[in-house]
Structure 1
Amino acid sequence: MSEIEISCDRGRLDLGYCYDFIANSYWSRGRSRGEFDRSVEMSVPVGAYCDGRQVGFARVVTDFIAIAYIADVFVDPDYRRRGIASMMLDALHAHPDIARVKRWMLATHDMQPVYRLHGYEDLNETIMMRLDAESDDREPLL
C-alpha cells in the first residue's frame, strides 16, 4: 500500500479534480466551477495525496474563533477504506489557524460512523456537532 500524505497547502490542490468529484456528488449538484473555486478560496482546505496524485479533499468554513463547518469531504473510490477521511479530519482539527474553535459542525447522509469516531454527535439525522473542550485552553489568536 502506498503512503498517504495529508497537506493543508492550498497550492497543491488539484481544483479540477476536486470540482469534477464535487459536481457529481449528492450534496453539490448544480454548483458551478466558479462557485466551487470561490468556496475553496474562502475556506481552510485539506488534500490527501497518494501515488503522485490527489485522492481526497475536505474544507472548513469558519470564522476562526467560534465555529467551524466541515464541508465537501470526499475520498476517491479507489482509495477508500484506508483511513484517509479520518486523516483529513485530524489535520483540520489540528490546524493552528482554527485551534481556538470550540464548535465544529457538519451535515452528512451516510458517513456518521466516521465522524462519531472523531467526537461528533448527532443533532438530527443529518447534522452533527463536535465540541472541542480543550479549545479554551489554547492561546488566543489575537
Structure 2
Amino acid sequence: MTYEFDDDPARLDADAIWAYLSTDAYWGRWRTRADFDRQLATAWRVVGGYVSHTGAQVAFARAVSDGVSDAYLADVYVHPDHRGQGLGRRLVSTMVDNGPGARFRWTLATKDAHELYRSYGFAEPDETFMVRPAAPERRLPDSL
C-alpha cells in the first residue's frame, strides 16, 4: 500500500481524527468534540497521512507555535491498521523537518514512542526547562 502526507487543513477528515482521539488516544480522551474542533481550527500546522488510492486518512499530527522559534507537537497518531510501515517516521519528518518550523525548538509530551522522537532530535529536558502540569482546576493565590 502507498501513502501520501499533506499539510493542507482542508483535506483533513476531522471525523476520522476525532474517532481515534476520542477513543484510542491515552493523552486526550478528556476533550470534547468542541474542544478538538477549536484545537484543529487554531493549529499552527497540521499534517495528515492518507492511503494514496482511496484518500482515507490514517495518520495525523498537529502543532501549536508562535511561528517564529518554538513549536509544540501534539496529537500524533497512526491508525493501528497501518502501523509498522514507517508512517510515524514520515509523519514526524513531514511536520518537524520538512516544513516552516524546521529550525524551531520543538517540544512534546509522550509516554511512548520515545525512540521515534529521539531519532528526530527530541531529548529529555535539561535544567533550563520546566513544565506546569495540567490540572482540572487551579485556585488563584490569595495574594492576587
**CA apart distance, 1:100:** 4.6
Identity %, equivalent residues: 37
Larger Rg: 2
Residue pair 1:64, 1:100 contacting (<8 A) in 2 also: no
Residues 65 and 100 in structure 1, CA contact (< 8 A), matched pair in contact too = no
CA distance in 2, matches of 1:32, 1:17: 15
Cα RMSD, aligned residues only: 1.6
> What is the number of residues matched between the two proteins?
122
Q: Which runs of 5+ in 1 are unaligned?
A: 128-142
Where does residue 57 of structure 1 map in the other structure?
A: 60
Q: C-alpha displacement at 1:123, in angstroms?
A: 2.4
Task: Work out the CA distance in 2 between the residues paired with 1:99 and 1:64.
Answer: 11
Kindly provide the amino acid, as one letter, of the partner of residue 39 in structure 1.
Q
- Is the partner of 1:61 in helix, strand or coil? strand
Partners of 1:14 and 1:85 lie apart in 2 by 18
Structure 1 runs of 4+ with >4 Å offset = none
Q: Aligned partner of 1:49: which letter?
A: Y
- Are 1:45 and 2:13 counterparts? no
Q: 75, 79, 85: which one pairs with 2:78?
A: 75
In structure 2, C-alpha distance between the alignment counterparts of 1:30 and 1:11, rounded to whole Å: 25
- Aligned twin of 1:133: none
For residues 48 and 6 of structure 2, the distance between their equivalents in structure 1, rounded to whole angstroms, comes to 5
Unmatched segments (≥5 aa) in structure 2: 130-144
For residues 86-114 of structure 1, give each alpha carbon's deviation from its aligned partner in whole angstroms, at most 9, with x where no partner exists: 11111112213x3452x100010011011
Among candidates 108, 117, 120, match of residue 118 of structure 1:
120
